[in-house]
Structure 1
Amino acid sequence: MNIELLHSVSIRGRYFYGYCCLLSTIQKYTLEPIYKPLDKILKNFVETDQLDDWQGRVDEFMPSRILEVDFPLIHCVASTDKKSNGLIKYYSEQPFVVLNIIEELMWLGISNLYGGFDSKHTLPYIIQIVKYLEEENIDLPNEGILTIFPVSEDRGWGKRIDIDSLLIAYGYIV
């Protein structure tokens, strides 16, 4: 992965790439699709301008808040008083790499919400997601995806996108 390329990619572009990394990991391990309420929250980041509302909802879905964990995830125990059984069940059935990617992806979205765009706030999260895939010998999504998300759009945030249309265009949804 050309890390330098990420400097020219908007926050929404980095997030979309991280989401594609999550899908690649799920495909590699032939896991069940992302739990629907979680998937809706994850996709909403690139589709909305109401990111303060998004943050309020995503906090309720973070693996670190649902499970009692050490991050990066090495050991976990479900905490039944935190969230619905469906989300706990979903998280409990995932390999640690999936939970780690979800956590990093959420922090990527949250990290630069308040204040002007600064690449250093989101870059570590997408780099860590890429490292997780490399460590697991999972093919990275095509870097060409990143070229449609220039950092020059919308003050570094990038334009809102219809994520499902892009996922179809890049073969993640058939």
Structure 2
Amino acid sequence: MDIDYQIEKLKKISIRGRFAFGMKCLEQYAIENELSDKCINKIFDSLWEFTSSDELDIWEEKISDINPKYILNINPENIETEFPTITLDEYYEIKEFYKSSDKHFVSMVSEIIEIGVGNLYGGTDDYSSWTLNPTLELIKLAELNLKQIPKIENFEFSKFSEDNGWGNKINRKSLE
């Protein structure tokens, strides 16, 4: 797909729409690679909360506790304090899941999280470059690793012109 075309399409899609697109790519990756682990549902459910939440600060705390960047690269002294929204067992299960997952899946999770947190505490400017760039990175990963990539056009209903770039809430079930 032409990069300029993608950029122009994505600039018109809200942050929630970009996030939902990323999640559909991640779900497709899990289907195509027959990934099945009890951690996947927890991770997917936590990620999807972004598209419908009014409390993104709480979502961010929860997401930081399952972010592969933190789980894989930090050896916390006190897991309960440093990862307050998950149990000790969940921490080790998620860490082991990420370690055993291929790098493309883990990278996709990281890019989706970047889409979600990119503009949490700043203005969105004309099109939110902070969320556009990780969306483009996610598209590159999808193009390399997916047989069937979700169509960007399916997310145009979530307009960047709505709610200061965030777009209206998106119900996960409505995209099935």
TM surpasses 0.5: yes
Residue matched to 1:94: 101
> Does 1:155 pair with 2:159?
no
Q: Distance in 2 between matches of 1:135 and 1:161?
A: 27
Residue matched to 2:15: 11
Point out where structure 2 has 5 or more consecutive residues left out of the alignment. 80-87
Q: What code does the residue aligned with 1:153 have? A: E
Q: Which runs of 4+ in 1 moved over 3 A?
A: 79-83
Identity %: 28
Q: Trace 1:23-172 onto structure 2 (pairs within 5 A).
A: 23-32=27-36, 35-68=40-73, 84-118=91-125, 119-163=128-172, 165-168=173-176
Moved more, 85-94 or 38-47: 85-94
Q: Distance in 2 between matches of 1:42 and 1:149?
A: 18
Q: Relative CO higher for 1 or 2, CA cutoff 8 Å, sep ≥ 6?
A: 2
TM-score normalised by L of structure 1: 0.82
* Post-superposition CA distance 1:40-97 (Å, at most 9, x none): 210110010111111111111100111139xxxxxxxxx5865622212321232111
Structure with the higher helix share, 1 or 2? 2
TM-score normalised by L of structure 2: 0.82
2:29–2:146 Cα contact (<8 Å) kept: no
Q: Distance in 2 between matches of 1:137 and 1:31?
A: 13
Q: Distance in 1 between matches of 2:130 and 2:152?
A: 21
